[in-house]
A and B are shown apart, each in its own frame.
Chain A
Amino acid sequence: DSGVTQTPKHLITATGQRVTLRCSPRSGDLSVYWYQQSLDQGLQFLIQYYNGEERAKGNILERFSAQQFPDLHSELNLSSLELGDSALYFCASSARWASEQFFGPGTRLTVL
């Protein structure tokens, strides 16, 4: 158990819908990262927050957004969902940018 929790574990929805994925980092970790893993693209960085502020962005679609709350948990919002958004979404956390980065169990999103 990495100490990073993610909910829900599985999510099945339809095209055009909007979903919210939730992540709680390890106790004391200020940085939260979101990654997407798919068969064709592999594991890709989406976005990073540090102590509530956005720090780095990857190839995140405009339909996707995230935020980190004062209690340091984070949410990833995916809207206008398309079939191609089906993937495993991981959250990771670290104490500092140069620290070990621990991953949660992931949320498997299926868009039908």
Chain B
Amino acid sequence: SQELEQSPQSLIVQEGKNLTINCTSSKTLYGLYWYKQKYGEGLIFLMMLQKGGEEKSHEKITAKLDEKKQQSSLHITASQPSHAGIYLCGARRPDAGGTSYGKLTFGQGTILTVHP
């Protein structure tokens, strides 16, 4: 969806390097979800952010949501080949009536390659 832009579209890094993937929304979000996908497989849930300024970490992955709740970043520290895959951000937004029923709108994904 053009309403949710991810950058970069692809990223190639050397093992051990840090990297950041960004997700920008043209509208305020109720929630921002990060997933990892191996090609042709299911989406693995990473983190969900809901509050402006919120930051969550799991192992070497940290995700942040800005105060305005329109931009999120996913940061991987000391990348490993196991981090390779497609990273997707999904946005939960209010509908015209202000209700969010949970449906997610996804960005186009960021393909991460980690060279040993």
Interface residues in chain A, defined as those with a beta carbon under 8 Å from any beta carbon in chain B: 2, 31, 33, 35, 42-45, 48, 50, 55-56, 58, 88, 90, 92, 94, 96-106, 108
Question: What is the total of A-B residue contacts with beta carbons within 8 Å?
Answer: 71
Q: Is the CB of B108 within 8 A of A97?
A: no
Closest to A46 in B: B103
Q: A2-B42, A42-B1, A98-B50 are in contact. Are A103 and B35 (CB under 8 A)?
A: yes
**B33 contact set on A, CB distance < 8 A:** 100-101
Instruction: Out of B30, B102, B106, name the residue touching A42 (CB < 8 Å).
Output: B106
Taken together as a complex, chains A and B put the C-alpha atoms of A77 and B92 apart, in Å, by 25
Q: Is the CB of B40 within 8 A of A88?
A: yes
**B42 contact set on A, CB distance < 8 A:** 2, 90, 103-106
**A94 contact set on B, CB distance < 8 A:** 102
**A44 contact set on B, CB distance < 8 A:** 106
**A88 contact set on B, CB distance < 8 A:** 40
